[in-house]
A and B are shown apart, each in its own frame.
Chain A
Amino acid sequence: MTRSGFVIANLFRKRTRTILTLLSVIMAFLLFGLLQSVNTIFNAGADFVGATRLMVQARVSFTSPLPLSMVPKLEAIPGVARVAYQQWFGGVWQQNTPLIMFSLDPQRYRDVYPEWVMSDAQWQAFASTRTGMIVGKQLAGQLGWKIGQKIPIASNIWPQKNGSKAWTFDLVGIFDGKDEEWKKRTNLAFIQQDYFDEANQFGVKGRTNFFILKLTDAGQARAVSRTVDAMFENSPDETKTQTEKDFNISFVKQIGDIGLIVRWILFAVFFTLLLVVGNTMAQSVRERIPELAVLKTLGFPDGSVLGFVLAEAFALCLCGGLLGLALASIGGAMIEKGTGGQFQLRLDVSVWLIGIAAIVLMSIAVGLLPALRARRLRIVDALAGR
């Protein structure tokens, strides 16, 4: 027998209680893993984008489209090198695979987003094919699409003029990202703005959700955004211009402050967990006061007795925590697969590190008081049941 064997044996003294406590720790860390990953996803959009792009949307909401006639005015603003635009299409592949899909002007988009890597021939094919579509490498891989295929896509927002929700596009290109950050985001699909304009039933011709301004100098971002908003003030199409990073953050915050929501949920989960595991540990120590006194009688010093109790708390939190994080990893991978890669719930290293730190802190929080009680135990009183 070893000291660790003794700790494990004590942990399973009341098997049912330990298993139930373990399950609550597992659940808490499963939630922690998944929610932290969600948080990471919602924050990730902000960090990698370039500082030389501004996003222009309608002041009220990006769902109110702006007229494409604004393009020459925007391009005439000093500091603006090029203007692109994109319109949300919201396609669905087969029955239930939603796609992140936009209509756009191929050449303008290519000029503004050099981060997307694709051969010239494919860019030209996209520009010259009215029903053309290009998709990211990740998306093509997941759905098994190949260049030359006709891709039937349904749109719940935009029916065609004949009332059909079914659109068919020709896959003419597959793009990749210039680096790891951009490669991770190759789950997008783009179609031609002209074709979309012409074929959609609502006839929202010549309008788009966003303009993207490529600046000649990142230092001019503030001045250019002021100029843009001032230019369209008091017009039917008032604008809100912000950096791409701020745009991504505010886009996410339309759902709510995800970080804050996650923090509150996790606070509630861990607070409850502290009470549950803390109670288990306190009860476990209370039940075996005489046994702890016997350990001291046999010559185990106060520090060893304290260590045994803390080690039990640590073992419980470690097993539950690692199992919970592992399940979150598996669950995240399953969600990612189930959503065709649209929702990338991967537990990255930072989530694991925060999780392990939480395990250590929680072990101390739930184990320290019972351990100190065990340490302070007077042998004579404990053996006499006082």
Chain B
Amino acid sequence: MSESMVQVRSVTKVYERGKQKIEVLHGLTLDIPRGDFVALMGPSGSGKTTLLNLIGGLDKPTSGEIVVGGSRIDQLSSGQLAHWRAHNVGFVFQFYNLMPVLSAEANVELPLLLTRLSAAQRRRNVAVALQVVGLADRAKHKPRELSGGQEQRVAIARALVSDPHLLVCDEPTGDLDRKTAEEILGLLQVLNREHGKTIVIVTHDPKAAEFARRTLHLEKGQLLEQAA
């Protein structure tokens, strides 16, 4: 686990809201080794989601460097970043963000439309991803026909299907009951331990953070401590 998957160097992020400038991250530096499972915790407004968005290539830092999987993603153009995200990172959101008009399997297949895989290959990969999250029997169901936990599993399958090395999860259990949340976190743990995925999650829940290998605390845009 010594090789770095994520290197964040002196990153600052400033948002402009009208005439107001808000500095959310102040020169933050962070290393996440390959195969790690990191929980980012902190109060609201501490910059957790901003940091996660930067690591996932959804946003760019105002200054500083971000290297993920050997790529300087802070230097990529919007189009290059889109291409990079498609092949290197999977996303899981608090509210699942599935396409309501598509079945579970079609939702999982969506990222594969960006690849050159044949329809048959895509179907095979989707079946494997749904199997990994334990939802093979729900492939044809639309999101509204699934429970919250099942929807989140579909979202995880969608994040996994293109086989990225890095998963970023923003409050993945924030909308779930305790039992279901533990199942989802257990699933993420399996993906980390057995499939070698590097996982970064943002959570408010200390119990959720216990599933990670380590927890990082942010406050006012700075990293406070590193707890094993």
Binding site for B on A (CB under 8 A): 1-3, 5-6, 9-10, 12-13, 290-291, 294-302, 379-380, 383
Contact = CB atoms under 8 A, between A and B. Distances in A.
Given A294-B97, A298-B110, A379-B59, 9 more contacts: A3-B113, A9-B99, A9-B101, A9-B106, A297-B91, A299-B82, A300-B82, A301-B78, A379-B53
Nearest to B108: A1
Contact of A299 (B59, B109, B114): B114
B100 A298 contact: no
A32 B69 CA distance: 58
A283 to B, nearest CB: 16
Given A298-B111, A299-B114, A379-B58, A9 B83 contact: no
Interface string B119-160: 100000000000000000000000000000000000000100
Which of B53, B83, B97 has the most chain A CB within a 10 Å cutoff?
Answer: B97
A10 B114 CA distance: 18
Which of B83, B86, B113 has the most chain A CB within a 10 Å cutoff?
Answer: B113
A140 B65 CA distance: 87
Given A3-B113, A297-B91, A291 B82 contact: no
B97 A299 contact: no
A296 B82 CA distance: 7
Interface string B61-77: 00000000000000000
Which of A295, A297, A301 has the most chain B CB within a 10 Å cutoff?
Answer: A297
B176 interface: no
Given A9-B101, A380-B58, A299 B93 contact: no
Contacts of B102: 1, 6, 9
A301 B109 contact: no
Given A9-B102, A297-B91, A379-B58, A302 B79 contact: yes
B87 interface: yes
A2 B99 CA distance: 14
9 contacts: A1-B113, A6-B113, A12-B101, A294-B97, A297-B85, A298-B114, A300-B82, A379-B59, A383-B97
Contacts of B114: 298-300
Interface of B: 53, 56, 58-59, 78-79, 82-87, 91, 93, 97, 99-102, 105-106, 109-111, 113-114, 119, 158
A2 B113 CA distance: 7
A5 B100 CA distance: 14
Given A298-B111, A379-B59, A10 B101 contact: yes
B86 A299 contact: yes
Nearest to B109: A1
Nearest to A293: B97
A302 B79 CA distance: 7
**A-B CB proximity, top 7 nearest:** A299-B86, A9-B101, A1-B106, A301-B82, A299-B85, A294-B97, A298-B111
A298 B57 CA distance: 11
A383 B78 contact: no
Given A1-B102, A1-B106, A12-B101, A383 B82 contact: no
B82 A380 contact: no
A299 B83 contact: yes
Contact of A383 (B93, B99, B110): B93
A194 to B, nearest CB: 76
Which of A10, A295, A296, A299 has the most chain B CB within a 10 Å cutoff?
Answer: A299
B79 A301 contact: yes
A300 B101 CA distance: 18
Nearest to A299: B86
A297 B53 CA distance: 10
A291 B78 contact: no
A380 B56 CA distance: 11
Nearest to A297: B91
A380 B58 CA distance: 7
Contacts of B158: 298
A299 B79 contact: no
Contacts of A295: 110
A277 B58 CA distance: 32
Contacts of A301: 78-79, 82-83
Which of B82, B85, B97, B100 has the most chain A CB within a 10 Å cutoff?
Answer: B82
A69 B104 CA distance: 89
B40 to A, nearest CB: 16
A9 to B, nearest CB: 4
Contacts of B111: 298-299
A140 to B, nearest CB: 58
Nearest to A10: B101
Contact of B100 (A1, A3, A13, A380): A13
A304 to B, nearest CB: 8
B50 to A, nearest CB: 8
Contacts of B97: 290-291, 294, 383
A379 B85 CA distance: 12
A380 B59 contact: yes
Contacts of B87: 299
A297 B92 CA distance: 10
B225 to A, nearest CB: 27
Contact of A13 (B84, B101, B109): B101
Contacts of A6: 99, 102, 106, 110, 113
B53 to A, nearest CB: 5
